[in-house]
Structure 1
Amino acid sequence: MTRINVINPWMGADEILAITEVIESGWIAQGPRVAEFETEFAVVMKAEYAVATSNCTSALHLALMVAGIGPGDDVVVPSLSFIATSNAPTYVGARSVFADVDPHTGNVTAATISEALTEATKAVIVVDQGGLPVDLGPIRALCDPLGIVVIEDAACGAGSTYRGRPVGAGAELTTWSFHQGTLLTTGEGGMLTTSNEQWAARARQLREHSMSVSAGIGGTNVLAPPEEYLEVGFNFTMTDLQAALGLIQLGRLSEIVRRRRQLAARYEELLAGVPGLRPVTDPSWGESNFQSYWVEVDPTAVADREAIMEALAVADISARRGVMAAHRQPAYWDVDTGDASLAMTEWLTDNTLILPLYHQLTEVDQDRVVAVLKTVAPVGEAIS
């Protein structure tokens, strides 16, 4: 039997050709392809401005900076998220304050954020965890009157929708990832989108050492103009090689989402009768791209998660533990997050399992995965 991985990027001849054309052009660093990718990405995501970055973490860093977040400020973040969500406030000298999540979506809510707010809260970072859209409307209704900036970490969200629009379209600042594990991948890379022209302009400068003239523009001129460095900036640029991949992948996005949702629906159908497992499903307010397909494991009704992972491994099937809880990591042990409960965060991080899901996954592959899950699930009632 062939191995079934958790993820597998979908690339082909078009991506190879796009990379070849960039190499032959003689300009592979940030340049015209990056500008084109920014324009096209903004159109698809219904954003006013898009700024390409080296990764989503750097986009989060820039988002906080342009929003004016710094030392002495608190930023509410979900603990149930990749560590970058918690790290970004630290980079600008602010403090991450952890909020709990909804048990069904794994996302923060207006209620869990409210419990984590402090007098020093200046921003909130919400996450579309695993591609599942966060319910942004009530969060904006809570934060906007308080002058709290809402940043949407849509690292996994490209192709997901919230109330009929792309996720991120309703946030003041949104950040995106193009890592290998996301639907739309450039290997590495990220994007910041916003409706604020000044924020976009400052992010463009900060990502490139705060140069007054972009190297991507000056480098293509016969006589390069002189540049100034307006403030201390960063090296957060994307390359034209990556952007060329991104343009092809962006054109594939709707097809990728359609296939993943088809596979997710089949998983849900196959797992409906398996006791002790609750598959992730769409919330009422949107549709997921199913960047990750996770199931909640009830250890009182089925073998525990570690035993299930071992059984899958024996069958040469790769799975992953659920999303980490940042507040449990040594880097954040000494952070005082007040009295807000993180009970659901801890439950989900301990009792969720990410199953294989990618464009090329076949029905035969899915049947293999589910067959193993059924061997470790005794007769009983599924989680409701």
Structure 2
Amino acid sequence: MKPWLGAEEAEAAAAAVLSGWVAQGPKVAAFEDAFARRVAALHAVAVSSCTTALHVALHLLDVRPGDEVVVPSLSFIATANAVRYCGATPVFADVEVETGNLSAATVEAVLTERTRAVIVVHQAGVPADVDALRALCGPRGVTVVEDAACAAGSTYRGVPVGADAELAAWSFHPRKLITTGEGGMLTTNREQWAVRGRRLREHGMSVSAAERHSGGGAVVESYLETAFNYRMTDIQAAVGLVQLSKLDAIVRRRRELAARYHELLATVFETDGPGLRPVRDPEHGTTNYQSYWVMLPEDTSLERNDVLARLAERGVSARRGIMAAHLEPAYAGHPHGDLPVTESFTKRSLILPLYHDLTTAEQDTVVEELKAALHVPLAAR
């Protein structure tokens, strides 16, 4: 993955520096407004990362020790960590084979009377079926929080992912489609949560630093609750505004490249028998192809790490697929049920290079070297 950055972003960052206002200020407010409009949410709260957005979301829900929050183990470890930050217990649920996402069936299997929330991840930009999860969780008083870290530009039932979310968290890390270097966003359709979220990101102050410095006169703030320092800077937001203007073009280009991968790898994809299985759009939406992952066949003798090593030797920078948190040392001994799909997914998946400036020749090289690493016969190549 390479971010699509250029002179326009550099000029925007420089302008923010030259303005003298480099901390959270007017550019952050403008970025919040623009992002909320883009994802069809009523409110957006800019923060320092998607991880901090998740933490604030759980704080807004008053998640505390003794509570449980259902999460996929198949996700970057931050999803589970945010639950621990609140002193609550992450409960790992399995995922669907087709999408790598939680489903109503996998979540229902682990719900208890202590479940306070479910964090559903739109994994690698593939939209999860959140309507089914809300139908399951709503009558139980369980809130569905959307981890949309990778999902900017993806759609669900014809609208942007996160449009109807009670709470959704987003990432602007350089591995995502649009970046501010580091940074995140929390979106919600509840005004009271947006107001408190902005307070929580800034030490619990009753009046923001930007309001104090721009309002004129003497303004003395109060600190209304114990909170955090999760602010975004105006430099980051200035870059984010430029990046957001490119989002449609980025999604369009990634979907073109993904379609070409589908075509070039068709001979080794699963059809009537075992073969590579690629990420694809689910029936209920479209993916932005934040990552182009493929799954090795169940019955293959190939080890995923051996395939990655072979590709690396040939100059192709592929990566392991999505991690499973319950298999990491940080969660050693953490109780969990059987997670067969999760464990198969993390063991057999790998991510191929996909970025805006990927050339046809580079993509051809990736495909040829992958086929060679898989020992595909020459006739199939």
Same fold (TM over 0.5): yes
| Structural mapping, 1:35-50, within 5 Å | 35-50=29-44
Q: Structure 1 residue 17: deviation in Å?
A: 1.1
- Aligned partner of 2:192 in structure 1 is 198
AA paired with 2:205?
A: M
AA paired with 1:250?
A: L
Q: Deviations over 1:164-212 (max 9, x none)?
A: 1111112210000000100010000000000111111111001000011
- Aligned partner of 1:300 in structure 2 is 299
* Residue 264 (structure 1) aligned with residue 261 (structure 2): no
* Residue 324 (structure 1) aligned with residue 323 (structure 2): yes
- Aligned partner of 1:341 in structure 2 is 338
**Match among 77, 84, 87 for residue 78 of structure 2:** 84
Q: Give structure 2 stretches of 5+ with no counterpart.
A: 270-274
Q: Which sits farther off after the overlay, 215-224 or 243-252?
A: 215-224
Distance of 1:165 and 1:257 partners within structure 2: 15
- Aligned partner of 2:272 in structure 1 is none
Distance of 2:63 and 2:317 partners within structure 1: 40
AA paired with 1:374?
A: K
Contact 2:279 2:293 in 1 (8 A): yes
* Residue 362 (structure 1) aligned with residue 356 (structure 2): no
| Structural mapping, 1:1-384, within 5 Å | 7-274=1-268, 276-298=275-297, 300-301=299-300, 303-337=302-336, 340-378=337-375
Q: Structure 1 residue 378: deviation in Å?
A: 4.1
Distance of 1:145 and 1:196 partners within structure 2: 19
Contact 2:28 2:234 in 1 (8 A): yes
Root-mean-square deviation (CA, aligned residues, Å) is 1.2
- TM-score (structure 2 length as normaliser): 0.95
Contact 2:307 2:374 in 1 (8 A): no
AA paired with 2:277?
A: R
Q: Give structure 1 stretches of 5+ with no counterpart.
A: 1-6
**How many positions carry a matched residue from both structures?**
372
Distance of 1:379 and 1:11 partners within structure 2: 37
Q: Percent identity?
A: 57
Q: Structure 1 residue 234: deviation in Å?
A: 0.4
Distance of 1:76 and 1:160 partners within structure 2: 23
Q: Structure 1 residues 357 and 80 mapped into 2: Cα distance closer, same or farther (>3 Å)?
A: same
Contact 1:271 1:279 in 2 (8 A): no
Contact 1:294 1:355 in 2 (8 A): yes
